[in-house]
Amino acid sequence: MRALTVSLAFGLLSACATPPVLEPAAAPTGNYILDPTHASVTWSLSHAGLSNYTARFDDISGVLDFDSAAPQNSTVDIRIDPKSVSTGLPKFDEELAASGNYFDANTFPEIRFVSTGIKLTGEAMGLITGDLTLKGVTKPVTLDVTFNGAGKSFGNPGKTLGFSASTKFLRSDFNMGHLVSFGIGDEVALRIETEFNEAQ
């Protein structure tokens, strides 16, 4: 009986998910919606040279207009709620979100990245240039992106596309230079993991 149960469970899993195909052409052209349950945006900066302090955002949304025949023509629009900053320390999260020294989220309630161009650097790699708006300041940044493949995710009836991305920028460029002169890092390293589900 146990063997039958295990066999049925694996059968259901295989019906719900498939290994990703790395060729972009395997994914249908069209609109995709970011899956917030399978996405993360983490950031880190130097803490007086002693460690790389790391935190994340919990509220992320976005859309992807994907062109499988010419991925360089795709566009992406990502939005983050700065009040969702998460360090593991609730009181510090509140300070980071509300303080004018940091995100000042009551005044600037959204962090946004809108792509302006894509350059392919390999079969499954590329550079996405876009406008990052943070604390009321908009500046260009470039994401180093890897296409992890197109497959079928759990609970999603259509295709799912997976991506990993990273970038670095200076927080002082966005009016967030508090404590830089005291050794708290200016350069922020951003790491992004996302899945986009085909819009139904």
Mean pLDDT of 46-58: 97
Q: What is the mean pLDDT of residues 166-171?
A: 98
**What are the extents of the domains in the chain?**
20-198
- pTM here is 0.89
Span 3-48, pLDDT tens digits: 444 344 444 444 556 788 888 888 899 999 999 999 999 999 999 9
Three-state DSSP class for residue 145: strand
List all residues 6 or more positions away from 156 whose beta carbon is below 8 Å from its beta carbon. Answer: 35, 197, 198
Query: Which pLDDT value is given to residue 77?
Result: 98
Fold for 20-198, please state it: Lipocalin (2.40.128)
Tokens of 89: 């320390």
- d(CA 142, CA 145) in angstroms, rounded, equals 9
Q: How far is CA 68 from CA 2, 26, 75, 164, 165, in A?
A: 43, 7, 12, 18, 19
**Alpha carbon distances (Å) from 134 to 30, 129, 169, 195:** 28, 16, 11, 23
Contact by Cβ (8 Å): 160, 195: yes
Mean of the per-residue pLDDT values for the chain?
Answer: 92
Which residue carries 């629009």 as its tokens?
A: 77
Chain mean position to CA 110: 14
Q: Side chain identity at 46, as an amino acid letter? A: S
pLDDT mean over 124-128 = 96
What would the pLDDT profile of 67-115 be if each residue is shown by its tens digit? 999 999 999 999 999 999 999 999 999 999 999 999 999 999 999 999 9
Which residue, 57, 45, 140, is CA-closest to 93?
57
Strand segments, DSSP code E, in 35-186 are 40-47, 51-57, 60-66, 75-80, 85-86, 111-122, 125-134, 137-152, 160-170
